């Protein structure tokens, strides 16, 4: 991941490095998260472009500490400090995969866990799956109608949504969701992606439109080949980390899902809980990045065509990110 411009932090400065979203994003190599004289001391960056941040227990304003790196260390005392102040720690790799997410845990309630475990036999899993996808399709309908200005697409999604009440098994729910998704993403395909005039000569042709959600490298959304899909993958990764934290905070098993069952290498329940919030993330993408000039320095292309985000973008995204606080899509 390419270096971002990091300003050195003056320990005596009154300006907090934590934005108004209460998120602090760490990038680079040799990251250090440790305790020093009762403060949480953090170092990040690349080479000479490093910063040091010291947070006291009082007035820190920290809600999420997000580390986008696999190089460095965090001490047990630092993790305890983060837990004590009610914040959460999330670690992502440079491919955008959630490696670690920890936050406040609810007291374990064995009755809740038992109900979760038998949900597929009690019928609760089907009811929950229908409700999750119903909310997702309602959100997609709103995005299609008011953000994409495509009433035809919105009406088709509405028709699919009306079929959910008659779905008598989870496979049927998945089928309805996939058909609605195909219609939904078709409305994104021709959206223009804008770069400043000075960057036009350095932009590949397939970076100039949203295109398809399916990457030619994987046959799935993974390993996106253009900026908007790479951004969306990253935002969904943030959403997954939030869903994992929310599940654990409620005393649920984040790996025991209803709609996504035994999802390999991912927390199945977190994948379930993401579904209703995905349209809010899509709306955030449209509001914040699509239709506005993207900076060429935010992206780079690997030898296989995979489009990757630089550290400077991840910091910018967290500073803007507000989709977890938003509920209405219509404006």
Annotate 283-321 with three-state secondary structure.
HHHHHHCCCCCCCHHHEEECCCCCEEECHHHHHHHHHHC
Contact status, residue 74 vs residue 26, Cβ threshold 8 Å: no
Residue 85, in any domain of the structure: yes
Provide the number of structural domains found in the chain. Answer: 2
pLDDT at 93: 79
- What pTM was computed for the model? 0.81
One domain, residues 246 and 263: yes
Residue 203, in any domain of the structure: yes
Last-in-domain residue among 102, 128, 157: 102
**According to DSSP H, which parts of 143-191 are helical?**
151-162, 170-186
How far apart (Å, rounded) are the C-alpha atoms in residues 305 and 286?
24
One domain, residues 95 and 206: no
Beta strands in the chain (DSSP E): 23-27, 31-36, 39-46, 49-55, 64-68, 72-74, 88-92, 98-102, 299-301, 307-309
pLDDT tens digits along 156-207: 999 999 999 999 999 999 999 999 999 999 999 999 999 998 888 888 999 9
Residue 272, in any domain of the structure: yes
One domain, residues 237 and 264: yes
Ranges of the chain whose pLDDT falls below 50:
1-14, 323-331
pLDDT at 5: 42
First to last CA, the chain: 36
How far apart (Å, rounded) are the C-alpha atoms in residues 305 and 88?
34
Which residues, 6 or more positions from 296, have their beta carbon under 8 angstroms from its beta carbon?
195, 196, 199, 202, 203
To the nearest 10 degrees (0 to 180), the angle between helices 170-186 and 151-162 is 180
Last-in-domain residue among 83, 102, 121: 102
């Amino acid at each position: 991941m390419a270096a971002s411009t990091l300003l050195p932090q003056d320990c005596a400065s009154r300006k907090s490095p934590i934005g108004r979203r209460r998120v602090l994003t760490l990038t680079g190599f040799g990251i250090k998260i440790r305790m020093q004289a009762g403060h949480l001391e953090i170092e990040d960056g690349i080479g000479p472009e490093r910063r040091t941040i010291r947070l006291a227990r009082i007035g820190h304003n920290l809600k999420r500490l997000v580390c986008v790196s696999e190089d460095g260390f965090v001490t047990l005392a630092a993790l305890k400090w983060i837990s004590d102040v009610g914040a959460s720690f999330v670690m992502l790799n440079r491919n955008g995969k959630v490696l670690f997410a920890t936050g406040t845990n609810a007291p374990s309630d064995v009755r809740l866990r038992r109900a979760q475990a038998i949900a597929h036999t009690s019928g609760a899993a089907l009811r929950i799956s229908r409700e999750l996808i119903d909310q997702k399709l309602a959100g997609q309908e709103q995005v299609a109608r008011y953000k994409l200005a495509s009433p035809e697409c919105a009406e088709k999604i509405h028709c699919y949504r009306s079929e959910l009440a008659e779905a008598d098994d989870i496979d049927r729910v998945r089928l309805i969701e996939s058909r609605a998704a195909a219609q939904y993403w078709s409305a994104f395909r021709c959206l223009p992606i804008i770069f400043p005039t000075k960057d036009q000569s350095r932009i590949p042709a397939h970076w100039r439109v949203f295109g398809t959600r399916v990457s030619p490298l994987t046959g799935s959304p993974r390993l996106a080949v253009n900026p908007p899909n790479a951004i969306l993958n990253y935002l969904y990764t943030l959403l997954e980390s939030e869903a994992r934290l929310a599940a654990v905070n409620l005393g649920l098993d984040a790996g025991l899902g209803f709609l996504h069952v035994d999802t390999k290498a991912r927390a199945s329940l977190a994948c379930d809980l993401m579904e209703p919030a995905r349209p809010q993330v899509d709306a955030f993408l449209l509001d914040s990045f699509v239709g506005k000039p993207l900076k060429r320095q935010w992206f780079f292309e690997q030898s296989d065509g995979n489009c990757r985000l630089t550290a400077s973008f991840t910091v910018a995204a967290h500073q803007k990110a507000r989709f977890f606080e938003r509920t209405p899509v219509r404006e």
